[in-house]
């Protein structure tokens, strides 16, 4: 997913430069400011598409 966001120009990546931390370098990702409105719209669309039912389904025998 991050690769698609990078190719789409939504995020930028940098390598961590904290030499005081033990272990391998980490790659850090940041959402580009000009991609923020589109990202908010995408999140809102997913939230609407995945809303739970307004009433629970009946459970026979309960």
Spatial separation of the C-alpha atoms in residues 27 and 3, rounded to whole Å: 12
* 3-state secondary structure (DSSP) of residue 13: strand
Give 12's strand partners.
30
Give Cβ neighbours of residue 39 (< 8 Å, ≥ 6 apart): 10, 31
Which residue is it, tokens 């009433």? 55
Structure pTM? 0.61
Task: Tell me the per-residue pLDDT of 2-51, one tens digit each, with 9 for 90 and over.
Answer: 999 999 999 999 999 887 888 888 999 999 999 999 999 998 988 877 76
13 and 27 in contact (C-beta within 8 Å)? yes
pLDDT-derived band at 53, boundaries 50, 70, 90: low
């Amino acid at each position: 997913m991050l690769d698609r966001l990078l190719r789409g120009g939504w995020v930028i990546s940098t390598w961590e430069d904290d030499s005081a931390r033990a272990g391998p370098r980490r790659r850090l990702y940041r959402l580009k400011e000009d991609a923020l409105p589109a990202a908010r719209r995408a999140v809102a669309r997913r939230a609407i598409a995945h809303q739970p039912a307004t009433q629970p389904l009946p459970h026979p025998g309960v």
